[in-house]
A and B are shown apart, each in its own frame.
Chain A
Amino acid sequence: MTSVLDRSLGGPPGLVGGICGGCGFVFLPYQRYGCERCGRYGDELRVHRLAGRGTVLAATVVKLHADPRRTAPFTVLRLRLDDGPVVRAVAADGAEVAVGGRVEAIMVPIPEGADELLGLRFAPELPGGGV
């Protein structure tokens, strides 16, 4: 399986999305099963790297969560990435995020052996981060 994270360039982690060669639809994460808009599949779906930056559409504080790998409280965001896709992700602990605010992906330390996605968070964009 292709990783959803692109950490090859240093700095904020990028995201490994895809683009449909037929209709131009941009999606995340990358997959080859088929385009959700037009149905093209396989080699017509190409890897498309997305900047891990976007705008918050909604944020909510989760106060109860059954999965012991995530300890409540934590904040979940719905955000529109600058490259198009709307995704849901977890905010960095203590991050001040508000609807309409700019955020970027960061990696935080995670327990050894845990899923890499557990380390992905979104935090307010640093000044000049969008340049």
Chain B
Amino acid sequence: MAGQLGDLQPVYVVGVGWHRYQPLSETSYVELGLTAVRAALADAGIEWAGVDESFIGTGLLGMAVGRPMLRHLGALGRPLVHVENASASGSAAFRLGCVNVAAGLSDVALVLGVDKPAKVYRAPTGVPGLAEDAIVPFTHFSLLTEEYVSRYGASAEDIAMVAVKNHGNGARNPHAHRQRARTLEEVLGGKQVAGSLTSLQCCPVGEGAAAVLVASELGIRRLGIDPAKAVRVASSAAVTETVASSDQQVTADVIGRALSDAQVPASGVDVFELHDAFTIEEPQYVEAAGICPPGKYFPLLKQGAFDIGGQCAVSPSGGLIAMGHPIGPTGVGQIGELALQLRGAAGARQHPGARVGLAHLVGLGAVGYAHVLVRP
């Protein structure tokens, strides 16, 4: 039987920082990454010398990008590893950082996600497909949209309301790629992509960086970190798809494990950051998580249940649709958002009384990650 994070010593998120997610620019990835790391160090109130090792989630930058960036923080000489797991690269890096700290190999670890848009190369497998060149991510999710609609019934307007909510949240987030509230008409009136999907229902893939610092209780005491900054990482779960499963099943499995390990019921989740690369994913994953019964997402959405201040704030950061999806940073940024929400420090997008946060990403493959964070 596999062990759990909770079997090890407690681990906490103690510092968070970003470089805003934004369209591709002349800014180097080094500048993006350093901005986020320095913000996280300042948030935790510690110096770079206090960091024992670093985990860098990146999907698009290529080989060995870490040291040319981190050397500008001063002497390094400590373990550094790059983590690639498609959309879940940052989530995978976070899990590894948590595990090493919880195991006592480090007292404080940096988890950094950084990326800039680039052409994706995937080596050929030697196995042909029937129409793989015709299937890009939005095609895949448009097919899933059609399946959801034929099973439960939902209108194009219903589905577009997911984007209206998330753009509204992004408008309150200074780190978001898209910071403009949108009306239903604007969302539906955007460029047509596939099926009922329009461009404002698809996540932007831009550049940016997100950093979190994780620490043990020993690290917190030794470096004099303010305990009020510390948010407990209650569980970490990871799974892969099988020939018999799907993105939704991967989500149900990985979130089920994360909630069970954290001993939190789905009804206890206050804030949920999920992989809403496309609108249809939010209803599918909210239902897969057990936060509402299958087919019941849209009636609840219309009642405001998933708004900030509702039953469970879903993607208060703006989610991938508005916060953006720069790949490496995405999973790390979700953790940063949860930490701010659970500290009560999320400003204009604060969900009142947030105590339990859930982060979820699916990476191409598919790999699934879920983490539960709890305010001590």
Residues of A within 8 A of B (CB): 1, 4, 15, 25, 28-29, 31, 33, 36-37, 57-67, 69-70, 74, 76, 78, 87-90, 99, 117, 120
Closest chain B residue, CB of each to CB of A74: B134
Q: A58-B143, A78-B147 are in contact. Are A63 and B193 (CB under 8 A)?
A: yes
Q: A59-B146, A76-B143 are in contact. Are A70 and B134 (CB under 8 A)?
A: yes
A60 touching B193, Cβ below 8 Å: no
B129 touching A76, Cβ below 8 Å: no
CB distance from B242 to the nearest CB of A (A): 8
A61 to B128, CA, bound (A): 23
Closest chain B residue, CB of each to CB of A67: B133
A60 to B230, CA, bound (A): 46
Which residues of B (185-206) have their CB < 8 Å from a CB of A? Answer: 191-195
Closest chain B residue, CB of each to CB of A27: B243
B128 touching A29, Cβ below 8 Å: yes
B147 touching A117, Cβ below 8 Å: no
Complex contacts, B131 vs chain A, CB 8 Å: 76, 88-90, 117, 120
A120 to B133, CA, bound (A): 13
B139 touching A76, Cβ below 8 Å: yes
Category for how many chain B residues contact A: 20 to 34
Q: List 11 A-B contacts (CB under 8 A).
A: A15-B130, A29-B129, A37-B243, A58-B143, A60-B143, A64-B192, A76-B134, A76-B135, A78-B143, A88-B130, A89-B130
Map CB proximity to A onto B121-133 as digits: 1 under 8 Å, 0 otherwise: 0000011111101
Complex contacts, B49 vs chain A, CB 8 Å: none
B128 touching A69, Cβ below 8 Å: no
A47 to B134, CA, bound (A): 26
A33 to B126, CA, bound (A): 10
Which of A57, A59, A64, A89 has the largest number of chain B CB atoms within 10 A? A64
A70 touching B133, Cβ below 8 Å: yes
Complex contacts, A59 vs chain B, CB 8 Å: 143, 146
B142 touching A60, Cβ below 8 Å: yes
Complex contacts, A61 vs chain B, CB 8 Å: 194-195
Flag whether B155 is at the interface (Cβ < 8 A): no
Complex contacts, A37 vs chain B, CB 8 Å: 243-244
A60 touching B136, Cβ below 8 Å: no
Q: A37-B243, A64-B194, A76-B135 are in contact. Are A58 and B146 (CB under 8 A)?
A: yes
CB distance from A108 to the nearest CB of B (A): 13
Which residues of B (91-147) have their CB < 8 Å from a CB of A? Answer: 126-131, 133-136, 139, 142-147
A1 to B128, CA, bound (A): 8
B127 touching A99, Cβ below 8 Å: no
Flag whether B27 is at the interface (Cβ < 8 A): no
CB distance from A15 to the nearest CB of B (A): 8
Closest chain B residue, CB of each to CB of A3: B128
Complex contacts, A33 vs chain B, CB 8 Å: 126-127
Apart from the given pairs A29-B129, A63-B193, A88-B130, 16 other A-B contacts in the complex at a CB distance below 8 Å: A4-B129, A15-B130, A28-B130, A29-B127, A58-B144, A58-B146, A60-B145, A62-B139, A62-B142, A70-B133, A76-B135, A76-B194, A88-B143, A90-B131, A99-B150, A117-B130
A117 to B242, CA, bound (A): 26
Complex contacts, B145 vs chain A, CB 8 Å: 60
A60 touching B139, Cβ below 8 Å: yes
CB distance from B10 to the nearest CB of A (A): 38
A117 to B132, CA, bound (A): 10
CB distance from B153 to the nearest CB of A (A): 13
A61 to B139, CA, bound (A): 9
A57 to B143, CA, bound (A): 9
Closest chain B residue, CB of each to CB of A66: B136
CB distance from B126 to the nearest CB of A (A): 6
CB distance from B29 to the nearest CB of A (A): 24
Complex contacts, A99 vs chain B, CB 8 Å: 146, 150
Complex contacts, A88 vs chain B, CB 8 Å: 130-131, 134-135, 143
CB distance from B147 to the nearest CB of A (A): 5
A67 to B134, CA, bound (A): 8
